[in-house]
Amino acid sequence: MSARSSPACPWRTHRAALTAMTAAAIATLATTLPAAVAAQSFPTRAVRVIVPSPPGDGSDLTARALAQRLSESWGQPVVVENRPGAGGRIGTEAAIAATPDGYTLLMGNAGSNGINAAIYKLPYDLERGFDPVTLIMRAPNVLVVSPQLGVQSVPDLIALLKAQPGKFAYGSGGVGSSAHLSAELFKLMAGVDLLHVPYKGAVGALNGVMSGEVALFLGNLPPAIGHIRNGRVRALGVTTLSRSPMLPEASTLDEAGLKGFETVAWFGLFAPSGTPAPLIQIIQQAVSRTLTEAEVRKLIDTLGGEPVGSSSAEFRALVSSDIAKWRRVVASANIRAE
């Protein structure tokens, strides 16, 4: 038998396999050890949290509350950087392009990061471009109108809109925002005709309701709660299937006759894809600890939200399911990117 056709020597095959396994192990250590060492000392400098919306909305208020407590805990500045525009896409693009080292995070939300993927052909893939860190809080959306509109309930509002189709408009924080898609779902389920007036953020939309520019706003509860309490706007209902402890007098839209209506606003932290897992864990644990503090929980309560502090995997599952849901709404409402 020639040397070419003879079987390989067993001990040489075994040694080759061991060599390959050793090389793989060394390669794994070479990539994971620096990350583990970096995580032990994290952070050693300022951490930036990009908020893809203007100051004053739910994402911004949540980010600032969190940043203050994390700064105290870490002994390093945690800086909130507002980058509004394009329904959250500008800030999201800035965050996704950042170095994946844990020092740049994105305060994501259901509008910018759950809905945009359903409407736009984005220059990034949200599910692949980010590593979810943790779901910070969730809150119902709320349907508010001006007291001068003269309606006291959701059925009153629907009757008015049906009597004068196309006369009234709703405000949102921009195309692709949670308020935009929630109102489109309301239109579909209530069978009404409304114009859409996009503003640069929820604060602008609420001002539009108070000034009479638009008839209603169906957006995040946190930025609306103060105006509801001082009587500048009237809350007709919340969008969760159970009533909000912050507005127990407001029925759910499900109770008001729109059976099954549910939209939930959420706020959570993302890191650019490729951020080492040990750093993700460090940040997730720090945020979760912060959310157990009485002062932080009280603040989130006053914003109309519920603190969560989920695992990275749980947050990833929520994002994926949200994107799928809004794709169905976009298709049903025949929404097109502007």
| pLDDT tens digits along 194-212 | 999 999 888 999 999 999 9
Q: How confident is the prediction for the chain on average, in pLDDT?
A: 87
N residues, the chain: 338
- List CB contacts of 192: < 8 A, sequence separation 6 or more: 158, 161, 162, 165, 186
Region of poorest pLDDT, from 24-33, 208-217, 317-326: 24-33
Question: Does 239 score more than 50 pLDDT?
Answer: yes
Rg (C-alpha) for the chain, rounded Å, is: 24
For residue 19, what pLDDT is reported? 63
Q: Return the half-sphere exposure (C-beta side, CA atoms, 13 A cut-off) of residue 296.
A: 22
DSSP three-state, residue 239: coil
pLDDT in tens, 170-195: 999 887 778 888 999 999 999 999 99
Q: Which CATH class is domain 140-238?
A: alpha beta
Read off the DSSP letter of residue 148: G
CATH topology match: 46-138+264-333 vs 140-238: yes
| Domain spanning 46-138+264-333: CATH superfamily | Bordetella uptake gene, domain 1 (3.40.190.150)
On the question of pLDDT at 274 being above 90, the answer is yes
Q: Given this model, what pLDDT does residue 2 score? A: 45
Band of residue 1 on the pLDDT scale cut at 50, 70, 90: very low
Residue 61, token pair as written in the block: 């208020």
| Axis-axis angle for helices 277-291, 312-333 (nearest 10) | 90
Contact indicator for 253, 143 with CB cutoff of 8 Å: yes
Q: Inter-axis angle of helices 10-41 and 277-291, to 10 degrees?
A: 40
- Residues 308-323, mean pLDDT to the nearest whole number: 93
The H-or-E segment that residue 106 falls in is strand 104-109
pLDDT of residue 6 exceeding 50, the answer is: no
For the chain, give the percent of residues with pLDDT over 90: 56
Domain locations in the chain as residue ranges: 46-138+264-333, 140-238
Q: Taking residues 95-109, what's their average pLDDT? A: 96
Tokens of 315: 């947050």
